[in-house]
Amino acid sequence: MVIQIVPLRKFLREVSLLMTKSAPLFVLVLNYFLVSLYLRNIIIVFFCLNIGVWGVNDLSAQVATSTPNHTTDDHTQSTHEGETHADQHSPAAGESHGVTANKKETSYTDMMMDHISNANEFHLFGHTSIPLPCIFYTKDEGMHTFMSSAFEHGHKAVKGFVLDNGVARRILNPAQRSIEHIDYTEREGDKIYAFAHGEKIELEKASTLIGSTSWYDFSISKNVFTMLLSALILCIIFLYVASKYKKSSNIAPNGAQNFFEVFLVFLRDDVVKPSIGEKWEKFFPFVCSVFFFILLNNLLGIVPFFPGGANVTGNIGTTMVLALFTFIIVTLNGTKDYWMHILWMPGVPWAVKLLLTPIEIAGIFIKPFTLMVRLFANIAAGHIIILSLIGLIFIMGKMEPKWEVR
């Protein structure tokens, strides 16, 4: 038996090529080892990118050679007002009224941050929302799965979990996890509390990159649902357009084929070829997948109603994965000239090389980091600005005029 030893560089290039092709299972297995805040986003974005590549890979082969949350206080307040006359002499009712009366009014800033953050349900209007699957793993009790509708808009605790403005939290104290009814939730600084029958209950978030807690959230959240939807839409479109190219290669494109050819030819001739060079076909499916994945999710984020409204690319976990994937592919496929211009620039005095080389090495990591932050900050800031301008209508409406018309 002959064992062939593959050079490390060739092996790494083959792995990187595999990442740019259709490999959703490979990516899923790889990223399940990452236990972090954005584990859910890391897995889903990699999966979605590879589904997109699967469709684009078929299409690009043809194009390559072708010519041109609502809060819970409204529901709680209305419930208590309806019970005031019937139970005004009841001690329990009076105690519950006391708790509700002490609830602080939710600031508009908190409402904006809740809107742009991820959630375990799709809020439509009023007390109407579309439930999503909740998948929680706890270190002490194992896996819990149920639909977010079990929370009853945040008024019910399920297996020790509470819904805070659409986001799942876990009751920190094990002795209090048997509580079923929740009056409301409230934030005090960095901590979140739930109140039930006059009792104050501290809640904890899911594990994050910057801090581990007693549980992890693998739910199909609002962002995850939108990413899966985007991957499905892209896959259907790309496969359809690719089939049109195969069936009518000698006929002028029309319909969807004509529409998407504008984008594909632009990416091929003005972005990929000038940037990558003669081996551009190898990376064209990945570039197209990233481009259309970001574009479609940004467009869906503009739509204010279901299935839009999710702030996918305004989530740092999503942009982190895109930057990480790009960093790995670029690093593993760097040519000799690429590394020469980074480590020891030709034609530059040696004294200047000593100064520039550390900067170029740092740039290897700074470039994907800045891309990650820029996309995240731009999309998140765009949502905040729109909500701020809309919020001025309601804020100014509550202000009492200090002048009189005579």
Whole-number pLDDT of residue 400: 66
Q: What is the pLDDT of residues 189-234, one digit of tens each?
A: 788 888 988 888 999 888 877 778 889 988 898 989 999 999 899 8
Task: Quote the domain boundaries for residue 364.
Answer: 8-68+222-396
Tokens read off for 19: 């990442």
In a domain, 56, yes or no: yes
In this structure, are strands 161-164 and 142-147 parallel, antiparallel, or unpaired?
unpaired
**Pairwise CA distance, residues 38 & 31, whole Å:** 11
Are 63 and 77 within one domain? no
Q: Are 39 and 31 in contact (CB under 8 A)?
A: yes
Are 205 and 247 within one domain? no
In a domain, 402, yes or no: no
Whole-number pLDDT of residue 49: 54
In a domain, 327, yes or no: yes
Are 206 and 95 within one domain? yes
Are 177 and 230 within one domain? no
Q: What is the pLDDT of residues 1-31, one digit of tens each?
A: 333 444 544 544 554 454 444 434 444 333 3
Are 89 and 25 within one domain? no
In a domain, 1, yes or no: no
Q: Which residues in the chain come in under a pLDDT of 70?
A: 1-108, 110, 249, 400-406
φ, ψ dihedrals at 195, nearest 5°: -120, 130
Number of domains forming the structure of the chain? 2
Are 177 and 323 within one domain? no
Are 212 and 228 within one domain? no
Whole-number pLDDT of residue 134: 92
Are 100 and 29 within one domain? no
Long-range contacts, 76-84 (Cβ 8 Å, 24+): 76/100, 76/103, 76/155, 76/183, 76/184
Compute the C-alpha angle 294/300/301, nearest 5°.
85
Whole-number pLDDT of residue 96: 39
Whole-number pLDDT of residue 90: 38
Residue 405 three-state SS: coil
Whole-number pLDDT of residue 323: 92
Are 148 and 51 within one domain? no
Are 230 and 359 within one domain? yes
Which residue, 198, 217, 236, sits at the end of a domain?
Answer: 217
Q: Are 234 and 292 in contact (CB under 8 A)?
A: yes
Which residue, 217, 244, 264, sits at the end of a domain?
Answer: 217
In a domain, 377, yes or no: yes
Whole-number pLDDT of residue 28: 39
Whole-number pLDDT of residue 369: 94
Which residue, 174, 191, 217, sits at the end of a domain?
Answer: 217
Q: What is the pLDDT of residues 355-371, one digit of tens each?
A: 888 999 999 999 999 99
Are 97 and 152 within one domain? yes
